[in-house]
Structure 1
Amino acid sequence: MGLEPSLYSGPYMSVSEITAEQLSVRLQAVGRGDRVALSEVYEATSAKLMGVCLRILGERSEAEDVLQETYIAVWRRAGTYDPARAGAISWLVAVARNKALDRIRSGKIRRASAPLDDAAEIADPARSALAEVESADDKKALMNCLEELDGDQQASIRAAFLDGLTYEELAMRRNVPLGTMKSWIRRGLIKLRGCLER
């Protein structure tokens, strides 16, 4: 595919009006080496993915670096994207999230101490359940384990980790207190990990 294009040139563009299907088509074009499609994917998704990186890393400069690494990874790996397995935005959020977690695990960044209630939002150094999504062999096991969770936990985990919604957004959508939402996700992740380790 040649050298990776440099996309970041300043402030983040706002999310473009683009349908999920159009984004999927453009992401598949990126997989065929289409640089224009990569620019369009960047324009449509950079604000959302910056939000994912910033939420995990907590530092804007680190989030900017990881965002750039994310789009380099997208350029290199878009050929593996399969729209039958995941939506384009879910796939992109998974790439961004994994890049951000890799940055934390590498020791290049340390998150500031946070209250105990925020513990669910701090990355676990163990292999994340989201990393399972990238592996075709493990995806079936992950989906089966997700099906074992109760409805609230399953829906909340899918929305947080596959769609990139924040705990606050989820709590507002479900009309529940923020602490309740964090508790659902925390308990669900514990069950999910136990299931995946069986």
Structure 2
Amino acid sequence: MTRLTPEPTGTPQGVPVAPGDVLTDLLSRSARGDQQAFAELYDATSSRIFGLALRVVRDPAQAEEVVQEAFLDVWKTSSRFDPERGSALSWLMTICHRKAVDRVRSAEASTRRDTSYTQHNQTIDSDTTSDAAQASMEAQRVRSALKGLTDAQREAIELAYFGGYTHTEVAGLLDLPVGTAKTRIRDGLIRLRDKMGVPS
């Protein structure tokens, strides 16, 4: 089958096109599988088709791909052309225009997806980093505040809040009355709150 890469020359709109009846005949013969007729159809119209594609996609390389896709579609569907509904050139240009618009929409959708993906990931990375930094700062503040407690208070609080023990279990581990364990924990929390500047 003929190469489907157009050779744009000058201003595509100004390139003369074969008369409508000639193009209709070429399309009709192409529909019957006549490759020579299709090659002649391509030669007679490709510059105009390329010009249309270029106006839509605004990129020569993309326009060439659109032209190839359009003529491949023409080869496959030439039997559907109905001269009663319009000219052969109009039919060809409609196919090309549709392919070009599809190409632009596809590119725009891809760009939107990429932009959305990038923004989403940047937001996640930023949030994760911010949360991690905040947690690290809080942990540092707590450790610093714990150093300001008495050993007895710090030990009771660490068992209760970091060890997960109940007041009764803390009392048992420290060999203290439950009331004393509770007092140490309460007094330690009050002092811890004051050290960290947390309003009461």
Is the radius of gyration larger for structure 1 or structure 2? 2
Name the structure with the higher helix share.
2
